[in-house]
Amino acid sequence: MSVSLFDLFKVGLGPSSSHTVGPMKAGVRFGEALAAAGLLPRVAQVRAELFGSLALTGKGHATDSAVILGLAGHLPDKIDPDQVAPLLAGIAAEQSLPLAGAFPVPFVEARDLLFQMAETLPRHTNGLRFTAYDAEGGELLSRITYSVGGGFILDEAEFDQVAAARGPVLPFPFNSGAELLGMGMTSGLSIAQMVMANELALRPRAEVEEHLRRVWEAMQACVKRGLSTEGILPGGLRVKRRAPGLHRAMQRSLAANQPSPTLAFERASLYAIAVNEENACGGRVVTAPTNGAAGLIPAVLHYFKDCWPELAQEEKIFEFLLTATAIGSLFKTRASISGAEVGCQGEVGVACSMAAAGLAAALGGSNAQIENAAEIGMEHNLGLTCDPIAGLVQIPCIERNAMGAVKAINAAALALQGDGTHRVSLDQVIETMRQTGHDMMTKYKETAQGGLAVNVVAC
Residue 244 carries which side chain, given as an amino acid letter? P
User: pLDDT at position 165, please?
Assistant: 55
Asked whether residue 455 is assigned to any structural domain, the reply reads no
What gap in Å lies between CA 169 and CA 144, rounded to an integer? Answer: 31
- For 380-400, write each residue's pLDDT tens digit: 999 999 999 999 999 999 999
Q: Read off φ and ψ for residue 133, nearest 5 degrees.
A: -125, 155
Asked whether residue 53 is assigned to any structural domain, the reply reads yes
The average pLDDT across 350-359 equals 98
Asked whether residue 325 is assigned to any structural domain, the reply reads yes
Which of 82, 72, 71, 59 minimizes the C-alpha distance to 13? 82
Query: Do 253 and 292 fall into the same domain?
Result: yes
Query: Do 231 and 123 fall into the same domain?
Result: no
Asked whether residue 239 is assigned to any structural domain, the reply reads yes
- For 412-446, write each residue's pLDDT tens digit: 999 999 999 999 999 999 999 999 999 999 999 99
- For 41-91, write each residue's pLDDT tens digit: 999 999 999 999 999 999 999 999 999 999 999 999 999 999 999 999 999
Query: Do 198 and 344 fall into the same domain?
Result: yes
User: pLDDT at position 167, please?
Assistant: 65
The average pLDDT across 286-313 equals 97
- For 107-155, write each residue's pLDDT tens digit: 999 999 999 999 999 989 999 999 999 999 999 999 999 999 999 999 9
Query: Do 272 and 205 fall into the same domain?
Result: yes
Confidence tier at 459 by pLDDT (50, 70, 90): low
Looking up residue 92, the CATH number of its domain turns out to be 3.30.1330.90
Provide the domain count of the chain.
Answer: 2
- Cβ neighbours for 51, distance < 8 A, ≥ 6 positions apart: 116, 119, 120, 121, 125, 126, 127, 128, 129
Q: What rounded mean pLDDT belongs to the chain?
A: 95
Query: Do 347 and 403 fall into the same domain?
Result: yes
Confidence tier at 26 by pLDDT (50, 70, 90): very high
Confidence tier at 1 by pLDDT (50, 70, 90): low
Provide the residue range defining the domain that includes 158.
16-163
- For 176-195, write each residue's pLDDT tens digit: 999 999 999 999 999 999 99
What gap in Å lies between CA 170 and CA 325, rounded to an integer? Answer: 15
User: pLDDT at position 162, please?
Assistant: 58
Asked whether residue 422 is assigned to any structural domain, the reply reads yes
Query: Do 70 and 124 fall into the same domain?
Result: yes
Write down the pTM of the prediction: 0.92
